[in-house]
Chain A
Amino acid sequence: MLMGFSRAQAAALLVMLVIIAVAPMVAYPVFLMKVLCFALFACAFNLLIGYVGLLSFGHAAYFGMGAYASAYVAKAWGLSAELSILAGGLTGAALGLIFGLIAIRRQGIYFSMITLALAQMAYFFCTQVAFTGGEDGIQQVPRAAVFGLISMQNDMAIYWLVAVVFLAGFFLVHRIVHSPFGQVLKAIRENEPRAISLGYRVDDYKLIAFVLSTAIAGVAGGTKSLVFGIATLSDVTWQASGEVVLTTLLGGLGTIFGPVVGAVIVNTLEFYLSPFGSWVTVTQGVIFVACVMLFRRGVVGEIGAKLKVAL
């Protein structure tokens, strides 16, 4: 066991690190950064659904609000890149704390519905306040320098920043899952009444997990807004919440690498299908159906099952 990784996971991790290092020489860096941002977002979402069993159907709210916060402080206050991203994370966490306090009081489908309703309220907020710029969003967000020193103008420079942010988030999720705290979360997922009777304050655990997840989602959104120089309403819509569910499900719920693989597949498909208009929607639908009917464990989950290892 290396840092809580099994041998198979360590091998997979090595592969992932090599790919992250080599990929920008082969593929277009901006595309890769998009994949990494969505992968981080999916990892955050997976922390809730995969390890606590909570399906949040409004996760786009934290991602999108994080994006707005980062874009705003980078553009209006001229903050440096790392502080802007931090602002995104804090916004995600703060919103997650408020929404989480309300949502975790309900279980199952009602939890999903309440998170959806709260996210719709966040969306409404974004359409009404001035600083978000309506549907134009916050545009022309500068790619601020890291620590005010290291310029991010070059695509490769910001790529390494995004890679570092992604890996930090990825390891954090992994750490959380494999900590004693994570063990309690899994116990709650498996049998909530038993966890309660064992004396755990289940609601506190759920709330902390929820806030951690929304904070990471906020970081992912903030990073994305710096990469593309834009933060918009489309990241706050319920459709965006649906897409992160798709990504995670496709990759494999409750697997460490699943969300990452899911993000790669979803974004690549979107990229290649772009000239075909509505076929993107149709293909996404077919993937959903195929996932549910044929490989419910997701791509990584199925591979893991074949190889008899947990990935």
Chain B
Amino acid sequence: MLSILGYNVGPMLAQGVLGLINGAFYALLSLGLAVIFGLLNIINFAHGALYMIGAFVAWVLLNYLGIGYWPSLILVPILVGCFGMLIERVLISKLYKLDHLYGLLLTFGLALIMEGLMRNYFGSSGMPFAVPESLRGATRLGFMIMPTYRVWVVAASFVVCIGTWLVIEKTSIGATLRAATENPALVQAFGVNVPRLVTMTYGGGVALAAFAGVMAAPMYSVNPSMGSNVIIVVFAVVVIGGMGSILGSILTGFGLGLVEGFTKYLYPQGSGVVIFVLMVIVLLLRPAGLFGKAA
């Protein structure tokens, strides 16, 4: 077998592929966070909890109403997105004039409430969620076995990420949105309903989290703590990518998955901390993150 620096290439390649799959998932999760931060300046600590809620809603739809994976993929983001808009209207919208800190604390509190309630109601061992019929099975690649579902995750994540980026950077809606965050008063004067636009944006970001939740349900167990397990990592992705830079989050998500994947192979114990080491280094060298604009 081919080897570089004493390591076999086959396993390394496999780890790289796995890293990219995880990276796709990180990118998808941090996307919503980046949208919410970039456009609304809210540090949405509830993002992980909303992702978890997304997975649970999909589970409930399947088990109580018989609604399967595919309809859920559309339905759940809409439902949870509406819930997000409600949160924004009732709570978050009251905090825009204050320090970032308060938004962070509020959403942290919301995350605790959501997680606690779900645990009270559904228990802690998690719920089984089967892979949809059409995505079962796996392909032999020679150096590894590639489950069809993971290929789908990468593809879907890629499409959604690029789509979101295009909407915000290249369309007139996106332009209005960006303008509204730069100078709300002026945009309001042009006859745009800025508060509604902001609510919709938050809802959109939340919908992305819920979408990731549905994607995750067949891979990981649907579990009340699934959100708090990833939230810190996802934060790190957004910070490293540059807070508010959507493209930065996407690229960092993929890159980080790759780095983590290799760490899992070479030094498994360290795979949890490597991201924080990177974060410190990046913030020291580039204060606004890899792709962020300097303040």
Query: Which of A121, A238, A286 is within 8 Å of B113, CB to CB?
Result: A286
A60 within 8 A of partner (CB):
no
Within the assembled complex, what's the spacing in Å between the Cα atoms of A129 and B213? 36
A282 within 8 A of partner (CB):
yes
Identify the stretch in A17-25, A108-116, A173-181 within 8 Å (CB) of chain B at 4 or more residues.
A108-116
- State whether B280 touches A285 (Cβ < 8 A): no
Query: Which of A114, A238, A245, A278 is within 8 Å of B119, CB to CB?
Result: A278
Within the assembled complex, what's the spacing in Å between the Cα atoms of A288 and B104? 10
A183 within 8 A of partner (CB):
no
> Interface centre among B109, B232, B236, by most A CB within 10 Å?
B109
Within the assembled complex, what's the spacing in Å between the Cα atoms of A292 and B284? 31
Residues of A within 8 A of B269 (CB): 127-128
B82 within 8 A of partner (CB):
no
- State whether A289 touches B284 (Cβ < 8 A): no
Within the assembled complex, what's the spacing in Å between the Cα atoms of A293 and B87? 12
The size class of the interface chain B forms with chain A is 35 or more
A291 within 8 A of partner (CB):
yes
Name B88-109 residues within 8 Å CB distance of A.
91, 94-95, 98, 100-102, 105-106, 108-109
B138 within 8 A of partner (CB):
no
- State whether B102 touches A292 (Cβ < 8 A): yes
Min Cβ gap A42→B in Å is 15
A55-B101, A117-B236 given; A285·B276 CB < 8 A:
no
A110-B287, A117-B236 given; A289·B109 CB < 8 A:
yes
- State whether B113 touches A285 (Cβ < 8 A): yes
Within the assembled complex, what's the spacing in Å between the Cα atoms of A128 and B273? 11
**A257-280: contact bitstring with B at CB < 8 Å (1 yes, 0 no)?**
000000000000000000001111
Min Cβ gap A301→B in Å is 14
B129 within 8 A of partner (CB):
no
- State whether B283 touches A109 (Cβ < 8 A): no
A102-B280, A110-B239, A278-B119 given; A287·B287 CB < 8 A:
no
> Interface centre among B112, B115, B277, B283, by most A CB within 10 Å?
B112
Min Cβ gap A104→B in Å is 12
Within the assembled complex, what's the spacing in Å between the Cα atoms of A117 and B273? 9
Total interface residues on A, CB under 8 Å, equals 38
Within the assembled complex, what's the spacing in Å between the Cα atoms of A112 and B267? 28
- State whether A120 touches B276 (Cβ < 8 A): yes
- State whether B280 touches A118 (Cβ < 8 A): yes
Residues of A within 8 A of B91 (CB): 289, 293
Residues of B participating in the A interface, judged by any CB pair closer than 8 Å: 43, 91, 94-95, 98, 100-102, 105-106, 108-117, 119-120, 232, 235-236, 239, 243, 269-270, 272-273, 276-277, 279-280, 283-284, 287-288
Kindly list 18 other residue pairs between chains A and B, CB separation below 8 angstroms, not including A108-B100, A288-B106, A289-B106: A102-B284, A106-B287, A109-B243, A110-B239, A113-B236, A114-B279, A117-B277, A121-B280, A124-B273, A242-B108, A249-B105, A281-B113, A282-B112, A287-B109, A288-B112, A293-B91, A293-B94, A296-B102
Chain A to chain B contacts (Cβ below 8 Å), 14 pairs:
A113-B236, A116-B276, A117-B283, A118-B276, A121-B273, A123-B273, A124-B273, A281-B119, A285-B109, A285-B114, A288-B105, A289-B109, A289-B113, A293-B94
Closest 10 pairs (CB-CB, A-B): A288-B109, A285-B112, A281-B116, A285-B113, A282-B116, A124-B273, A117-B276, A289-B109, A120-B276, A292-B106
